[in-house]
Chain A
Amino acid sequence: MGLLSLLRNLKKDSEEFRVLMLGLDNSGKTTALKKLAGEDVSHITPTQGFNIKSVQQDGFKLNVWDIGGQKHIRPYWKNYYQNTDAIVYMIDSADKRRTDEAADELTSLLEEPDLAGIPVLVYANKQDLLNAMSAADVMEALDLKGEKSRWVHVEGCSAKTGEGLEAGLSKLMEHKKSS
């Protein structure tokens, strides 16, 4: 990585896509990123800053930025908005206590002028857990049905097993290609 790679990553490049992965702490962003990159996911600690990895999907290079989701560092999400091509929003579908909090954060994201019109892929994560809400329930809980100003898709997934991760990105890229 290094600082220089951060700068090269900031640069607007038509060949590559910059994907910003956001969501509450413990929703599984880093696990999903590592799984997508084919890395070991057995030892994941809370992200204090960010992780960046490049992922190939349907012939495209995605530079995925996984940003720490703890409450005290959420005000700094804005640091990363510029030149974003897509948002991946991660939900812990099994943590019903925090669904409102997750919905509120997403609502404020969608209101950000810097992110206007940017497509949003929501991962309804932790489908491997018995008490997880379905993708449709998550769609409902996040109140996304009325969202007309952008492409929104909710994909059920398990970052732990990897199930659904590529399917979600694939739908996002399909949309990107058609728009």
Chain B
Amino acid sequence: MHALLPQARRRGMAKLRRFLLRYYPPGIILEYEQNGEKATRQVDLLTLTPETDVEILVNQIVRQEPLVSEARKPQLRKLIYKLIEKMESHENQSFYLFKILRAHILPLTNCAFNKSGDRFITGSYDRTCKVWNTFTGEELLTLEGHKNVVYAIAFNNPFGDKIVTGSFDKTAKLWNSETGELLHSLRGHTTEIVCLSFDPHGAVVATGSMDSTAKLWDVQRGVELCSLMGHTAEIVSLNFNTEGDKIITGSFDHTTKVWDVHTGVCLHTLSGHRGEISSTQFNFTGDLCISGSIDRTCKIWNVASGQCMNTLRGHNDEILDVAFNAQGSKLVTASADGTSRVYNTTTGACQAILIGHEGEISKVSFNPQGNKIITASSDRTCRVWDVESGDCLQILEGHTDEIFSAAFNYEGDTIITGSKDNTCRIWKC
């Protein structure tokens, strides 16, 4: 083998340096060297389950992936077992109330974790965003400067060194998440900013506004890159795909639009809903996206063609939130009818109906492992559900007013809930 190396270098052949693990969704990242340059390639294992035949999978990867030689098999096997082990951890543990944070003097809007889960942020009607230590419940920073409600907030995950806040004061602000220093104020929208996101590389921020436009901003310089014009009503949802080259925007004009991030060109207008869009999301691979609507349906769209693949019916009232699991194999809808529904992405079949809440469900998401779902409701509770059976595993009770937001950390062992009662609660396994 060693004798071959110089020759390999001359041809510019890639050489594997090491494996990196990605737990959710499961995958193995190959870090390799080519022409002296370091690069990575991802081997997605989206269908991996504890029942997967690991030997067959190892052989398949070695056959299909030229970077991985026969000699790497034992190492590869070990990594796959580690991914499976990770899927099964926390499986049967229940959540307990760890801390109540008297977070703000007015209702909370949204909350979000950083990638490692050691910190999270909350936005509020009191015009601030606060940064918290998840393990101690300690308030680390108060980001002050907005002149109205801080509605949308995000970390630049996976890095986590920056925060962006979007406000009813029409501006978005970029902050250093360690020091609380204001880096840039992003001005240009003419009405409230209600949704935003960093791109996965942390270089671009997208903001969506009630002024019917979305804007892309350069994070480093704090300047506007382009305006995404075309919607005829408020934009209330936006997401980047995993690659970061496309963005979708969901609007009260009943459509979702797919945009090219580099050019700002609208690639597709996904029309078909008969009511306002409430929520949108890409699947992990970015070939599909979903839109939930006030018209009580959720639609699955092919991103490349702009075609509607499926219309998911069943809810008796408005759909308020939608989410894919990490692998993209399932999706969940939350409705004003007080139920959530789990659907198979490929077949569109409803696999479970989550019944129990006594008020509308405004937020829903899978845990990163994909075996549990959390729902947040106006009935002042959150519920944790088993995805397979649709059984309610737990009711997280204690908030004294409706819950506006809920989030899992990346490990799936901590939940934060933000409520109209001005508090934030941390729940742990």
Q: Which residues of A contact B (CB under 8 A)?
A: 1-4, 7-8, 10-11, 48-50, 68, 72-73, 76, 78-79, 82
Which one of A49, A68, A78, A79 has the greatest number of beta carbons of chain B within 10 Å? A49
CB distance from A120 to the nearest CB of B (A): 22
Interface residues of B in 84-113 (CB under 8 A from A): 105-107, 109-110
Which one of A4, A73, A76, A82 has the greatest number of beta carbons of chain B within 10 Å? A4
Main secondary structure of the interface of B (DSSP, over half): loop
**B127 touching A79 by the CB < 8 A rule?**
yes
CB distance from A37 to the nearest CB of B (A): 15
**B405 touching A3 by the CB < 8 A rule?**
yes
Q: Pick the contact of B194 from A2, A7, A50, A73 — CB < 8 Å?
A: A7
In the complex, B362 has a CB within 8 A of chain A: yes
Interface residues of B in 361-402 (CB under 8 A from A): 362-363, 378, 401-402
B125 / chain A contacts, CB cutoff of 8 Å: 49-50, 76, 79
B105 / chain A contacts, CB cutoff of 8 Å: 48, 72-73
In the complex, B252 has a CB within 8 A of chain A: yes
Question: Which chain A residue lies CB-closest to B318?
Answer: A4
Question: Could you tell me the distance between the alpha carbons of A149 and B204 in the complex, rounded to whole angstroms?
Answer: 47
**B148 touching A2 by the CB < 8 A rule?**
no
Provided the pairs A49-B125, A73-B106 are in contact, do residues A2 and B360 lie with their beta carbons within 8 angstroms?
A: yes
Provided the pairs A1-B378, A10-B192, A79-B125 are in contact, do residues A49 and B236 lie with their beta carbons within 8 angstroms?
A: no
Interface residues of B in 407-429 (CB under 8 A from A): 420-422
CB distance from A162 to the nearest CB of B (A): 24
Q: Pick the contact of A3 from B110, B148, B234, B422 — CB < 8 Å?
A: B110
**B127 touching A1 by the CB < 8 A rule?**
no
Which 7 A/B pairs are nearest by Cβ-Cβ distance? A2-B362, A49-B107, A49-B106, A3-B404, A48-B422, A4-B278, A4-B320
In the complex, B149 has a CB within 8 A of chain A: yes
**A11 touching B210 by the CB < 8 A rule?**
yes
Question: Could you tell me the distance between the alpha carbons of A82 and B64 in the complex, rounded to whole angstroms?
Answer: 59
**A11 touching B106 by the CB < 8 A rule?**
no
**B210 touching A7 by the CB < 8 A rule?**
yes
In the complex, B284 has a CB within 8 A of chain A: no
Interface string of B116-134 (1 = CB under 8 A from A): 0000000001110000000
Question: Could you tell me the distance between the alpha carbons of A121 and B80 in the complex, rounded to whole angstroms?
Answer: 68
**A11 touching B234 by the CB < 8 A rule?**
yes
In the complex, B175 has a CB within 8 A of chain A: no
**B320 touching A2 by the CB < 8 A rule?**
yes
In which size bucket is the chain B interface? 35 or more
Question: Could you tell me the distance between the alpha carbons of A174 and B76 in the complex, rounded to whole angstroms?
Answer: 76
Question: Which chain B residue lies CB-closest to A45?
Answer: B400
Q: Which residues of B contact A (CB under 8 A)?
A: 105-107, 109-110, 125-127, 148-149, 151, 168, 192, 194, 210, 234, 236, 252, 276, 278-279, 320-321, 336, 360, 362-363, 378, 401-402, 404-405, 420-422
**A10 touching B402 by the CB < 8 A rule?**
no
Question: Could you tell me the distance between the alpha carbons of A72 and B106 in the complex, rounded to whole angstroms?
Answer: 10
What are 11 A-B pairs with beta-carbon distances under 8 A? A2-B336, A2-B360, A2-B362, A2-B404, A3-B110, A3-B151, A4-B278, A7-B194, A48-B107, A76-B126, A79-B125
Question: Could you tell me the distance between the alpha carbons of A10 and B109 in the complex, rounded to whole angstroms?
Answer: 15
Question: Which chain A residue lies CB-closest to B234?
Answer: A11
Provided the pairs A48-B422, A73-B106 are in contact, do residues A79 and B378 lie with their beta carbons within 8 angstroms?
A: no
Question: Could you tell me the distance between the alpha carbons of A10 and B234 in the complex, rounded to whole angstroms?
Answer: 10
Q: Pick the contact of A49 from B127, B405, B422 — CB < 8 Å?
A: B422
Question: Could you tell me the distance between the alpha carbons of A34 and B106 in the complex, rounded to whole angstroms?
Answer: 20
**B107 touching A79 by the CB < 8 A rule?**
no
Question: Could you tell me the distance between the alpha carbons of A66 and B127 in the complex, rounded to whole angstroms?
Answer: 19
CB distance from A60 to the nearest CB of B (A): 22
**B378 touching A2 by the CB < 8 A rule?**
yes
A82 / chain B contacts, CB cutoff of 8 Å: 168
A8 / chain B contacts, CB cutoff of 8 Å: 252, 276
Question: Could you tell me the distance between the alpha carbons of A73 and B422 in the complex, rounded to whole angstroms?
Answer: 12
Q: Pick the contact of B402 from A1, A4, A48, A78 — CB < 8 Å?
A: A1
**B404 touching A50 by the CB < 8 A rule?**
no
**A48 touching B421 by the CB < 8 A rule?**
yes
Question: Which chain A residue lies CB-closest to B169?
Answer: A79
A48 / chain B contacts, CB cutoff of 8 Å: 105-107, 421-422
CB distance from A101 to the nearest CB of B (A): 20
Extra A-B contacts (7), CB below 8 Å, given A3-B151, A10-B168: A2-B402, A3-B404, A11-B234, A49-B106, A49-B421, A50-B107, A79-B168
**A49 touching B420 by the CB < 8 A rule?**
yes
Question: Could you tell me the distance between the alpha carbons of A4 and B322 in the complex, rounded to whole angstroms?
Answer: 13
